[in-house]
Amino acid sequence: MSLIRLENLNKIYESQAGEVIAINGVSLDFKAGEFSSIVGPSGCGKTTLLNVIGGLDKPTSGKIWIDNTEITSMRDKALIDFRLKNIGFVFQAYNLIPVLSAIENTAFILELQGVEKRVRNERAMELLKAVGLEDKADSRPNQLSGGQQQRVAVARALASRPQFILADEPTANLDSKSTETLLDIMAELNIKEGTTFVFSTHDQRVIDRARRIIYLEDGQIK
Amino acid sequence: MKIIIIAWRNIWRTPWRSLVVIGAMSLGVWSGIFMMGWANGLNDQRTISILDDNIGHGRICSRYFLEDQEVFSTINELKPIEKLLLSDSNITTFSSRVICNSMIQGGSGSAPVIAYGVNPSSEKRVFKSVQNISSGVFFKRQVGDEVVLGEALARKLEIDIDDRVVLTFQDINGDVRSALFWLVGIYNGASSMIEESIIYVPSRTISFQMGLIDSIKLSNESQIIAHEINYRVKNPYEIEKVNNALETSFLKNRNAESQSIVFRTWKEVSPDLGVADAILSQSLLLFMMIILLAMSFGILNTMLMAVLERTRELGMLMAIGMNKKKIFKLIVIETILLSFVGLPFGLFLGHISLLVTSKTGITLKSVEQGFEQMGLESTIYPSVVPEYYLPIVGLVLILSFLSALYPARKALKLNPIESMSVL
């Protein structure tokens, strides 16, 4: 049974030069526990597809089901709540909250969900251990390296035990060693906790580790 | 809870910019409070000067006299009231008056006046205007055909010390009577209007002339009849409390006739002074509001800059599931915290400044003469104004909330994807 199901998805942007077709009739299924990569050249629509799956952007047409819930017709408020409870995000530029420490950043999603302080701190510490940053729990993002920040971002994305994690070019700003470490962590979490990962990337190191690769070109699956 | 922590830490991301806003808030509140204390001090001095001159702090009279000013509407229980006033430790002194609406003739003309029949020694203890005698004396004897009038009236009638004047008035039977008085003193009043309209005569003399007492009582040493009693208290701004206690104490176990005695505070005797206080109070709050309003634009600008600088971060917060209500809350709390950090400093500085200057006073040498002409001293003693602190806190809260609305609206309009693409 599909965790994520995309049905004839289209996304068209209006621009001064005319219409730009970012996603063109994409139909796709992701099963729970997948470790998938959407790959393709720059501008092929990878990030747009990820944004649409994550409910950050609305498709022009087509439908998205997540665990049998159709999200394309959801109102903004409901969609934000749905994202909070069901989807974890890892961004290219880490996007941590600069004024919070690593543990506070990790626990932040749980705070938004109204989880009790003791429980969220335990979960955050458990995840920081999992990404190898328990000794950096009290460090602010500016005291961490790029790789460490991205590991905190992964920990944050996992904190609320979401149905799946969308990672947009997670290794784009990382060196080789940090990339390998991060991929090891994500692969381990995928196996141990059964977390579903969907990446968008053109990084060969990520592509090499993915168990399913989806090629996108000009907004279409090849 | 975390939102408050994020808001607080966000303030210190750009410490110098925040410190400028906090400093401006402190200075604004400080200057506003000092101005309030200054204006209050000046107004208090003016009010007290007027009360000292002619009104007193509290006044007791018959309800009938208050309504119709009839000659026979005297206080029917003068002695018990005087006893009560003497026994009250809050009352420093008092004086009784007989009031006679008259026409004065002398020298080159005539004028309508109110003749106060007074006991010279007690009147001097209560009112300053009769202490300020520019020519002659404030009566040579307790009883006698003597009159003291103001400088402006003396000029108008072209009379001087030892000249004669004739007072024409109604007696207790409604008959018009005239009596001859000798001018023994000229006083310098708070205003020419007072100088022209109020004259003083010995109480027992005018009471006898009006038929209120007979010739036997005329020789009695003590005051035996009065239309009103004026009293002074230690603090004129606590007059309501003293006046209410007096009234309650007097009316306890008394008959219906006693109910005709009216106890009034200076605010009731001279409502314009009370109204002036209320107007000043409102005006000062308005003034403070203008200062804070000006500052709130600075706060708005700072918060707007903060929102624009943090576009990417706000977009990320929306993306990971922070709803609009929480984003709005974050911006509002941040703005309120930014405003409230400077507030206690401003209040503290303002309070300390007023505490010090209320003791030392501030002398305005350049306007000394003008102030003296108005009957005011050139040294102003600002008042400490704690009653304004809570309204100021409320104003800051409201204005900082309003300042947060526009930046918060900007933040709410952000699109997560577009925001996160901002470098």
Question: At A115, phi and psi to the nearest 5?
Answer: -75, 145
pLDDT, average across residues B288-308: 91
What are the structure tokens assigned to B335, written together?
């703005």
Q: Which of B250, B269, B288 delimits the end of a domain? A: B269
pLDDT value for B3:
85
Same domain flag for B361 and B382: yes
pLDDT at B195: 87
ipTM, two decimals = 0.88
Residue A73 CA to residue A93 CA, distance in Å, equals: 29
Give the per-residue pLDDT at B223.
55
Return the SS3 of A219.
Answer: coil
Residues of chain A found within 8 Å of residue B417, distances taken between Cβ atoms: 51, 56-57
Residue B423: pLDDT band by 50, 70, 90 thresholds? very low
Q: How many residues does chain B have?
A: 423
Superfamily of segment(s) A33-59+73-221: P-loop containing nucleotide triphosphate hydrolases (3.40.50.300)
Q: Which residues of chain A are within 8 Å of residue B2 when distances are taken between CB atoms?
A: 104, 108, 111
Are B26 and B143 within one domain?
Answer: no
Q: What is the pLDDT, as a whole number, of residue B218?
A: 57
List residues in chain A touching B: CB distance below 8 A: 51, 54, 56-57, 77, 80-81, 83-85, 89, 91, 93, 95, 97-100, 104, 108-109, 111-112, 156
Q: Is the Cα dihedral B111, B112, B114, B118 positive or negative?
A: positive
Q: Which of the residue ranges A42-46, B111-115, B348-352 would you say has the lowest mean pLDDT? A: A42-46
Question: Does the CB of B75 have a partner CB in chain A at under 8 Å?
Answer: no
pLDDT at A93: 82
Q: Which of B245, B269, B293 is the last residue of a domain?
A: B269
Q: How confident is the model at residue B402 (pLDDT cuts 50, 70, 90)?
A: very high
Q: What pLDDT does B258 receive?
A: 61
| Cβ partners under 8 Å of residue A91, min gap 6 | A153, A168, A170, B316, B319, B420
**Domain residue limits, chain A:** 33-59+73-221
According to the model, what pLDDT value does residue B256 have?
A: 61
Residues B87 and B182 in one domain: yes
Percent of chain B with pLDDT over 90: 45
Which of B14, B313, B320 is the best mutation test for A, with the most CBs of A within 10 A? B320
pLDDT, average across residues B275-299: 87
Residues B230 and B282 in one domain: no
B305 and B202 assigned to the same domain = no
Facing A84 at nearest CB: one of B10, B321, B420: B321
Whose CA is closest to B73, among B233, B281, B226?
Answer: B226
DSSP state of A98: T
pLDDT, position B176: 92
From chain A, the residues in CB contact with B6 under 8 A are 97, 99-100
Whether residue B221 has pLDDT greater than 60: no
How many residues are there in chain A? 222
For residue B422, pLDDT beyond 60? no
* Rounded average pLDDT over B287-295: 89
Residues B148 and B105 in one domain: yes
Residues in chain A predicted with pLDDT less than 50, given as ranges, are none
* Average predicted confidence (pLDDT) for chain B: 87
In this predicted structure, the answer to whether residue B243 has a pLDDT above a threshold of 70 is yes
Same domain for B170 and B45? no
Q: What number is the average pLDDT over the span B59-88? A: 87
Angle at B1 between CA A104 and CA B414, to 5 degrees: 75
Amino acid at B108: S
Residue-wise pLDDT tens digits, B132-185: 888 999 998 877 899 999 999 999 999 999 999 999 999 888 899 999 999 999
- Domains in chain B, number: 2
Range of the domain at B329: 2-50+274-420
Q: What is the 3-state secondary structure (H, E, C) of chain B?
A: CHHHHHHHHHHCCCHHHHHHHHHHHHHHHHHHHHHHHHHHHHHHHHHHHHHHHHHCCEEEEEHHHHHHCCCCCCCCCHHHHHHHHHHCCCEEEEEEEEEEEEEEEECCEEEEEEEEEECHHHHHHHCCHHHCEEEECCCCCCCCCEEEEEHHHHHHHCCCCCCEEEEEEECCCCCEEEEEEEEEEEECCCCHHHHHHEEEEEHHHHHHHCCCCCHHHHCCCCCCCCCEEEEEECCHHHHHHHHHHHHHHHHCCCCHHHHHEEEEEHHHHCHHHHHHHHHHHHHHHHHHHHHHHHHHHHHHHHHHHHHHHCHHHHHHHHHHCCCHHHHHHHHHHHHHHHHHHHHHHHHHHHHHHHHHHHHHCEECHHHHHHHHHCCCCCEECCCCCHHHHHHHHHHHHHHHHHHHHHHHHHHHCCCHHHHHCCC
Single out the residue in B269, B285, B311 at which a domain terminates. Answer: B269
pLDDT reading at B420 higher than 70: yes
My answer on whether B197 and B244 are in the same domain is yes
Q: Is the pLDDT reported for residue B112 higher than 60?
A: yes
Q: What is the mean pLDDT of residues B260-271?
A: 89
Question: Does residue B287 sit in the same domain as residue B413?
Answer: yes
For A208, residues 6+ apart whose C-beta sits below 8 A from its C-beta are: none
Question: Does residue B226 sit in the same domain as residue B175?
Answer: yes
Examine the domain organization and report whether B63 and B179 are in the same domain. yes
CB contact under 8 A, A95 and B324: no
Check B320 against A156: CB less than 8 A apart: yes
Same domain? For B393 and B363 the reply is yes
